[in-house]
A and B are shown apart, each in its own frame.
Chain A
Amino acid sequence: MQPSELIIDRPDEGVFRVHRSSMTSHDLFEQERAKIFDHCWLYVGHESEVQKPGEYRRRTVADRPLIFIRGSDGQIRVLYNSCTHRGASVCQQDEGQATGFTCIYHAWRFNNKGELAGVSDQEGYGDNFNKAALNLKSPPRVEHYRGMYFVNYDSGAESLESYISPVRELIDLTMDSAEVLGGWRILSGTAKYSIKANWKILIENSYDGYHLPSVHQTYIDYLMWRQKKASVQNPNPTGSDARDSSSLKRTRAYATKNGHGGFLYRAEGRAIANPSPLWPEETRREVLRVKSELIAKFGEQRARQMSEVSRTICIFPNFLFQDSQTGFRFRQIWPVAPDMIDVVQWDLVPRNEQQDLFDARMEYSLAFLGPGGLATPDDAEALEQCQRGFAAREVEWSDISRGMKRPAQMNDELQMRSFWRQWHAWLKGDPKNAFTDDIDRGAGNSLLINLEA
Chain B
Amino acid sequence: MSNQTQWQRAEVEDFLYAEMAYLDEWKLDDWFKLFTEDCTYVVPTTDRPDGDPARDMVFIDDNHLRLEGRVRKLKSQMAHREVPRSRTRHVVTNVRIVDVTDGDAVVEACFVIYRFKGANKEPYVGQYRYRLTRQDGNIMIRHRRATLDLETLRDQGAVSIIL
Contacts and interface: CB of A to CB of B under 8 A. Distances in A.
B60 A372 contact: yes
A138 B73 CA distance: 47
Contacts of B60: 366, 372
- The winner among A94, A359, A365, A367 for most chain B CB atoms within 10 A is A367
A369 to B, nearest CB: 10
Contacts of B61: 362-363, 366
A192 B47 contact: yes
A191 B48 CA distance: 10
B58 to A, nearest CB: 6
A225 B73 CA distance: 11
Nearest to B68: A225
Given A371-B157, A374-B69, A380-B158, A215 B152 contact: no
A342 B154 contact: yes
A126 interface: no
A187 interface: yes
B59 to A, nearest CB: 3
Given A221-B76, A372-B158, A189 B153 contact: no
B80 A378 contact: yes
User: Could you say which interface size class chain A belongs to?
Assistant: 35 or more
Contacts of B57: 187-191, 346-347, 362, 365-366, 370
Nearest to A186: B57
Interface in A181-209: 187-196
B1 interface: no
A194 B55 CA distance: 25
Contacts of B10: none
A445 interface: no
A367 B69 CA distance: 10
Q: For chain B, what secondary structure do more than half of its interface residues adopt (helix, strand, loop), or is it mixed? A: loop
Contact of A193 (B44, B78, B79, B158): B158
B44 to A, nearest CB: 7
A190 B154 CA distance: 13
Given A193-B153, A193-B154, A218-B79, A188 B59 contact: no
Nearest to B74: A218
A341 to B, nearest CB: 10
A217 interface: yes
Contacts of B18: none
B56 to A, nearest CB: 4
A377 B54 contact: no
- The winner among A192, A193, A362, A367 for most chain B CB atoms within 10 A is A193
Contacts of A7: none
A365 to B, nearest CB: 8
Contacts of A245: none
A195 B160 CA distance: 13
Interface in A84-110: 94
B115 to A, nearest CB: 12
Interface in A377-413: 377-378, 380-382, 384
B70 interface: yes
Contacts of A193: 152-154, 156-158
A189 B58 contact: yes
B30 interface: no
Interface in A268-310: none
Contact of A371 (B53, B65, B79, B159): B159
Interface in B30-86: 43-48, 51, 53-61, 65-66, 69-70, 72-73, 76, 78-81
A381 B152 contact: no
Given A221-B73, A382-B80, A371 B56 contact: no
Nearest to A223: B69
Nearest to A370: B59
A98 to B, nearest CB: 18
Given A362-B57, A378-B81, A381-B80, A192 B73 contact: no
Contacts of A195: 157
A195 B151 CA distance: 16
A371 B69 contact: no
Nearest to A222: B69
A146 B45 CA distance: 27
B45 A189 contact: yes
A374 B73 CA distance: 8
A376 interface: yes
Given A226-B69, A371-B157, A381-B81, 9 more contacts: A192-B46, A192-B153, A196-B119, A218-B78, A221-B76, A342-B152, A359-B54, A370-B59, A372-B159
6 contacts: A191-B45, A347-B57, A359-B54, A374-B69, A378-B79, A378-B81
> Can you list the 7 inter-chain pairs with the closest CB atoms, starting with the nearest?
A189-B57, A372-B59, A377-B160, A377-B158, A193-B153, A192-B152, A377-B81
